[in-house]
Amino acid sequence: MKSLRDELDPEISLDIFKEDPRFLENERRYEDLKKSILGEDEEDESDEEDKKQMKIKDGTETNLVNLRTTIYLTIKSSIDFKEAGQKLLKIKLKPGEEMVLCSMILDYCSHQRIFNQDYGRLGEGFCMMNKVYQENFVECFVEQYSMIHHLETIKLHNVAKFFAHLLATDALPWHHVLANIRLTEEDTTSSSRIFIKTLFQELSEHLGIRRLNERLSDPTMQNSFESIFPKDNPKNTRFSINFFTAIGLGGITENLRRYLKNMQHKKPAYDSDSEATTKKRRTR
């Protein structure tokens, strides 16, 4: 015990900073001593185990549902496509979630009673901003066209007009999109023909028949367009010509008509040879 009357050492030397040449070593010794007394190693290990056990994998796709809800409310609460675009950009998407946004824009567009061009402009903006959205919309086109016979007439028209807008504004590469369409009698249904009709009529309205014909006649992309303007079989060639003529776009088949005409000039010689061969076989 200390009395008030006792002389005390004030330890003035502690008021002055002195560099410890063995500071790191002393700190390690202090930490070791503290852990040996308090047993913090065991506590840390138990805490880490508890944290590992607390990590639960969400198998209910709650995050996806929440994301879709956020996108839906953002689009519906926006005055126009510009405001919607600005709000959607603020949503932090994880890699791979861009497809969710693209599919939802297209889905909401297809459910409109009449085509709303704001959805086309919204999709156009995202395609121009990032190639990832461009690739995802191309994938959306492939998916929609493969199941086009399941769509109602209104949805079918809206989807066709949506992609016609993206093509007309060069938001999507033509060769990647149109290469997925094969225009023959066997490869199309009544639904897919309506879709193709709407798509090309909208393109003609956006660009004009002359510019549309120039784009489709681009020599660098003929390989991608040969499925729409087939030259593998005269029957398929005629079908394509008759189809576009019937929908009022016969002007874009000039090259195909020229090709068919040249083939017909060559056909008589072929037919005469075949007939002569047939006669010889019969004589034998």
275 vs 237, residue with greater confidence: 237
CATH number at residue 96: 1.25.40.180
Residue 201 in any domain: the answer is yes
Exposure on the CB side of residue 117, measured as CA atoms within 13 A = 5
In a domain? residue 22: no
What is the per-residue pLDDT for 275?
47
Q: Examine the pLDDT at 162 and tell me if it is beyond 90.
A: yes
Question: Is 121 within a domain?
Answer: yes
Residue 35 neighbours by CB under 8 Å, 6+ apart: 41
pLDDT, tens digit (0-9, with 9 covering 90-100), for 15-67: 777 777 888 888 888 888 887 777 655 555 555 555 555 555 555 567 888 88
**Confidence band, pLDDT 50/70/90 cuts, at residue 279:** very low
Q: Nearest 5°: CA angle at 264, between 262 and 267?
A: 115
The alpha helices in 77-116, defined as continuous H runs, are: 81-89, 98-110
What are 86-145's pLDDT values in tens digits? 999 888 888 889 999 999 999 999 999 999 999 999 999 999 999 999 999 999 999 999
Asked if residue 221 is part of any domain, the answer here is yes
CB neighbour list of residue 277: distance below 8 Å, 6 or more residues apart = none
Q: Distance between CA 249 and CA 126 in Å, rounded?
A: 31
Q: What's the rounded Cα separation, in Å, for the pair 107 and 191?
A: 18
For residue range 166-206, list pLDDT tens digits in order: 999 999 999 999 999 999 999 999 999 999 999 999 999 99
Number of domains in the chain: 1
Q: With respect to residue 254, please indicate whether it lies within any of the assigned structural domains.
A: yes
Q: Is the pLDDT reported for residue 276 higher than 50? A: no
Whether 12 has a pLDDT exceeding 90, the answer reads no
Instruction: Quote the domain boundaries for residue 215.
Output: 62-266
Q: Is residue 190 part of a domain?
A: yes
What is the length of the chain?
284
In a domain, 13, yes or no: no
Task: Tell me what the mean pLDDT of segment 204-225 comes to.
Answer: 91
